[in-house]
Amino acid sequence: MADEDNNSPVFNIQRIYLKDMSLEQPNSPAIFLEQTPPQVDINIGVGAETVGPDNYEVTLRVTVTAKVGEKTLFLLEAKQAGIFEIRNIPKDQMQPIVSIACPGIVYPYLRAIVSDICTRAGFPPVLLTEVNFQAMYEGQKAAAAEEAAKKSAANGGALPN
């Protein structure tokens, strides 16, 4: 292959897949008779790991909890992942690619599966809003820098070994 013979940047989607899915309805069927609109809480996280030479698995995790008062309507947890071949990219650009670009590719699949599972479970679809993965990444970097500054201050400004 031509790009193996030179140092051209390579970014390929190897596979996108549903890694894990869980749905619990602890109060059904009685909860279906509730007329009160549920309170819905959504938490999203991103993870990445190396799975081989130049291959990275990026996983998006979502937890959707719907409650009516203290009763849980449903609890949905899903992990949607992708394997990406990334090589010949400068080291300082790798983390943004894995933390911003890759999740942006995987996220539409996660949105679709969450909506579909909610509908198939007998509930109105939960439509996940758009996520700004760049803002999420920058927030995580800022939090890590703040934590490092706190540790440095706690050590009297001394650099860790």
Asked if residue 142 is part of any domain, the answer here is no
pTM: 0.84
Asked if residue 115 is part of any domain, the answer here is yes
Asked if residue 143 is part of any domain, the answer here is no
Q: For residue 117, is pLDDT > 90? A: yes
Cα distance from N-terminal residue to C-terminal residue, the chain: 44
Q: What is the CATH number of the domain that holds 24?
A: 3.10.420.10
> What does the pLDDT read at residue 106?
98
Domain interval for residue 84? 2-130
> What does the pLDDT read at residue 140?
87
Reduced to 3 states (helix: H, G, I; strand: E, B; else coil), residue 88 is coil
148 pLDDT band (50/70/90 cuts)?
confident
> What does the pLDDT read at residue 4?
53
Asked if residue 146 is part of any domain, the answer here is no
Cβ atoms within 10 Å of 156's Cβ, excluding its own: 6
Q: For residue 82, is pLDDT > 50? A: yes
CA-based angle 73:44:118, to the nearest 5? 35
- The number of distinct structural domains making up the chain is 1
Classify the C-alpha dihedral 143-144-145-151 as positive or negative.
positive
Asked if residue 138 is part of any domain, the answer here is no
Q: What is the pLDDT of residues 22-46, one digit of tens each?
A: 999 999 999 888 889 999 999 999 9
Q: For residue 1, is pLDDT > 80? A: no
Closest CA to 117 of 36, 18, 32, 26: 18
Question: Cα separations (Å) of 68 from 100, 111, 129?
Answer: 34, 23, 21
DSSP state of 38: P
Q: For residue 152, is pLDDT > 70? A: yes
149 pLDDT band (50/70/90 cuts)?
confident
Asked if residue 23 is part of any domain, the answer here is yes
Least confident of 4-18, 78-92, 118-132: 4-18
Q: For residue 160, is pLDDT > 70? A: no
> What does the pLDDT read at residue 3?
45
Asked if residue 136 is part of any domain, the answer here is no
Q: For residue 157, is pLDDT > 90? A: no
